Amino acid sequence: MVEVAGTDTHIAWVKGDDIIKSITLPIGSVNFTYDFNLDDRILPQDLTVALEFIDELLDEVDWLKETKFDSIIGIASTIRSVGKIDRVRKRYPFDIPHNYELSDLDVQEIFNLLKCKDYKQRQKLEGIEPELADIIVGGTAIFKKIANLVHCSKIIISSRGLREGLMYEYLEKTYSIPNDILDYSLNGILNTLNSDINHAKNVFNITLNLFNALKPLHHLGDEFYNIIKTSTMLHDSGISINYYNHHKHSFYVILNSYINGLTHKEFIMSAAIAASHRFNRYQTPISPFSSIINQLDLKNVNRIGVLVKIAEGLDRSLVGAVKNLEVSFDDENVNIKVSSDIDVDFEIRQALRASDKFKEVYGKTLVIRAV
């Protein structure tokens, strides 16, 4: 984790919830910029001396050179500005800085772009905050050198910082909150929107059971768990806008909600699955996000989406009628046996409305009966 602050740079080796090692370097975007004349037009000799100075400081941090890191998490204004510039130049369709990913090559290209411009030119550069135009080169140089040293190509931007950390720490000590940050986010949205939480949980549990039982058919792994949870728990979130066509509203409610624990791809796939839970042929407006998700992702949206349709049907009466289900399949059929202590003919009829879509996606006939 790297934070290039105004007068310091904080580096921490984080593993799980533990900080293994950390160090604070006595250079930041402000003092480094003005010590080496990087605020306006940059002379090659000044830049060379500045970069060599960073190398000398980093050379003393043995654990940075000796450890292999999976990714770099960048926080604070410098790396957020780099991320915003990158999103603009790539015409990225998702204007959410948190969890945005870029590579070390992207950082190098942006650094090359910035160092060739003077102060006024950088102020006009799309994506950069004008008040950071003088210190952005110095801050980016520090971050770039750290990324080069650790040979890590995956850089993740966090828009959360000390403020959010202190708030979460206070809430954790004062109130009973879930350990899973995604659960915490989803529960907050459900409570804010006054959603039917029991129904959401029922749809989630049924979908997850179907997903696990049908793994030999769809060949998807546990990495889709967060997508399944988000899409099912928030599938009715659009009702807060309007009940009619609420699936359409659920799409943009999810995309514009404050949810921690999801990548941008997971965000979009969750929204698309939630938007497809109704028994109609609604086409999710997914084309603007083609730079983030591909055709395989869309197939996976359909594979999970049809399971959500079935789960929605099996809890259509909103009373948790289905207590258990058993899934089996052969060459032609997928058989679902539903257990309940009340009559579930209505729920089964509703779930079977997904039969055509299920046949299209899985190539098998859907059979549901009560036992």
Q: Is the pTM of this model over 0.75?
A: yes
Contact 72, 156 (CB under 8 A): yes
Lookup: tokens for 311? 């789960």
Q: How far is CA 143 from the centre of its chain?
A: 23
Contact 276, 247 (CB under 8 A): yes
In this prediction, residue 136 carries a pLDDT of: 96
pLDDT digits (tens, 9 = 90+) for 54-112: 999 999 999 998 889 999 999 989 999 999 999 999 999 988 899 999 999 999 999 99
Q: Which residues of the chain have pLDDT under 70?
A: 279-280, 282
DSSP 132-183: GTTTHHHHHHHHHHHHHHHT--EEEE----HHHHHHHHHHHHHS---SSHHH
Biggest CA-to-CA distance, the chain: 81
Contact 200, 230 (CB under 8 A): no
Lookup: tokens for 275? 């938007």
DSSP 231-245: HHHTTTGGGGT-STT
Give the Cα separation of 232 and 237 in Å (integer).
10
Contact 78, 161 (CB under 8 A): no
Say which DSSP state 364 is in: S
> Residue 156: phi, psi to the nearest 5?
-115, 130
Domains assigned to the chain: 2-171 (3.30.420.150), 181-370 (1.10.3210.10)
